[in-house]
A and B are shown apart, each in its own frame.
Chain A
Amino acid sequence: MVNEPRPFRPRISARLAYTLHAGLAPNPFYRRLAAFVEGRPRLARWFTSGERAVKERLFGCRMCGQCALPVTGYACPMTCPKQLRNGPCGGVSADGSCEVDRSLRCVWVTAAERAGSAGRGGDLDLLQRPADNREWSRSSWLNYWQGRDEGLTTALGDG
């Protein structure tokens, strides 16, 4: 497969990523901006390309359209060969390498380390619900600002 996922090591620190994220937090302005952009196909394509360029470079983004980065220490789970969104598989080698490619570090080992060092280890306990495969190649920022990602991540109760 041309587009086979492989673990990616983020190019910026977790601390910087959390800080940058604060600038993306949804607000009424972003919500209106997202609606405006989505209403104009050419502008939406341009916007989505921009998002792709930035996130591909920084996080190995594959444009699943339903970004999990804020709850995985900004290590992208869609770069896991099994695209696991809820934590590492049992095949991680003793040295932390991926079972599919031993020359690469398991992205969930990276995620646990980054989230932990930022005091966000609890994020990994959240349930990531099954992703909507129709969102591939769409902008996750527009989805996020429009509130469509709500419910994608939920706390698991005892009930």
Chain B
Amino acid sequence: MSGLRAALADGGRFVVTAEVGPPRDADPDAITRRAKALRGWVDAANVTDNQGANARMSSLAASVLLRAAGVEPVMQLTCRDRNRIALQSDLIGAAALGVPNVLLLTGDHPSLGDHPEAKPVFDLDGVQLVWTARRMRDEGVLLSGRPLGRRPSWLIGTVENPFAPPTAARARRLAKKAAAGAEFAQTQYVFDLPAFARWTAMLRDEGVTERCAVLAGVGPIRSLRMLAFLSTGVPGVHVPDEVARRLRGVPERRVEEEGLAICEETLRELAATPGVRGAHLMVFGHEDEVPDLLRRAEIRKGDPDVDRL
């Protein structure tokens, strides 16, 4: 049973997910260490699937390791590297191994990763994959039409970028994914709160937020280098001038502090934004900062030393 599903059903709870990137080697402890920092503080954690088209431990293996370490996994699965046979196979495998949540997406293009010479698969797209998984679970059929004996029960999630053109169509796009079967959606980094609020308002008008819970992507910008990287090096991330000005306006040694302060303010505002069910934290290797960030934003209470036991 998915704890994330239960958390999303609890209307009074601001749901928090985080992200665990699998290691580039065969060390299972890399997952355990990250799990230790997050345990008890997040409702679930995404396990990325060769993120940015860089080869790493598989998301399925890392999801099983994360679950064993006491954090509920959300297994990411992309269409970049697998055809429809392999996608359905990994989905069934995940269900059999007790992975309770899946996050289905198209994936970054291989040309952006560490194997730019790789063959891009994209046999299905993200919407088709969500639709396929929903039919496997609810109708018990594969794309071939063949029946599944025991059906999977995962919670199905997806992603959306409210800030990427065609921006006017982005609410309709999530509506389409929700209609295809997505029950929750994590978004790209939210730095532009007014634009984000306009997007969620459109979603609420169309009744999408009732069927598909929106978890806003949030994370601190820790340095001017990271600011430059996010502004130009990551497809689809939009950092407004105001945020950039604030980070550039403080001495170099205080940039990280300012970045964390912006992140905390963003979390507070999101928690008060109608139609936002929670946040998806992207802290990349700084999992130990998650408890403090959540307490400062008054999203979670408690003493980490006690709660982490």
- Listed in ascending order, the chain A residues whose CB lies under 8 Å from chain B are 1, 81-96, 99-100, 106, 108-109, 112-113, 116, 121, 124-125, 127-130, 133, 156-158
Q: How far is the CA of A30 from the CA of B238 in the complex (A)?
A: 49
Which residue in chain A gives the minimum CB-CB distance to B117?
Answer: A1
- Listed in ascending order, the chain B residues whose CB lies under 8 Å from chain A are 79-80, 84, 106-109, 111-112, 119-120, 122-128, 131-132, 143, 159-161, 163-166, 168-169, 172-173, 175-176, 179-180, 188, 235-236, 238
Q: Is the CB of B108 within 8 A of A91?
A: yes
Q: Is the CB of B106 within 8 A of A82?
A: yes
Q: State the Cβ distance, A96 to closest chain B Cβ, in Å.
A: 4
Q: State the Cβ distance, A73 to closest chain B Cβ, in Å.
A: 11
A-B pair number, CB within 8 angstroms: 116
The contact of A87 among B79, B127, B143, by CB within 8 Å, is B127
Q: Is the CB of B236 within 8 A of A128?
A: no
Q: State the Cβ distance, B156 to closest chain A Cβ, in Å.
A: 14
Note all chain B residues with C-beta closer than 8 A to A129: 128, 131
The contact of B165 among A84, A96, A100, A116, by CB within 8 Å, is A96
Q: How far is the CA of A91 from the CA of B105 in the complex (A)?
A: 12
Q: Is the CB of B108 within 8 A of A81?
A: no
Given the interface pairs A81-B109, A84-B122, A124-B169, the reply to whether A91 lies near B84 with Cβ below 8 Å is no
Note all chain B residues with C-beta closer than 8 A to A90: 159-161, 164, 188, 235-236
Given the interface pairs A83-B122, A86-B125, A156-B180, the reply to whether A93 lies near B235 with Cβ below 8 Å is yes
11 A-B residue contacts at CB 8 Å? Answer: A82-B120, A82-B122, A84-B126, A86-B125, A89-B126, A91-B161, A92-B235, A93-B236, A94-B165, A121-B172, A158-B179
Q: Is the interface of A mostly helix, strand, loop or mixed?
A: loop
Q: State the Cβ distance, B141 to closest chain A Cβ, in Å.
A: 13
Q: How far is the CA of A93 from the CA of B124 in the complex (A)?
A: 23
Which residue in chain B gives the minimum CB-CB distance to A113?
Answer: B166
Q: State the Cβ distance, B96 to closest chain A Cβ, in Å.
A: 24
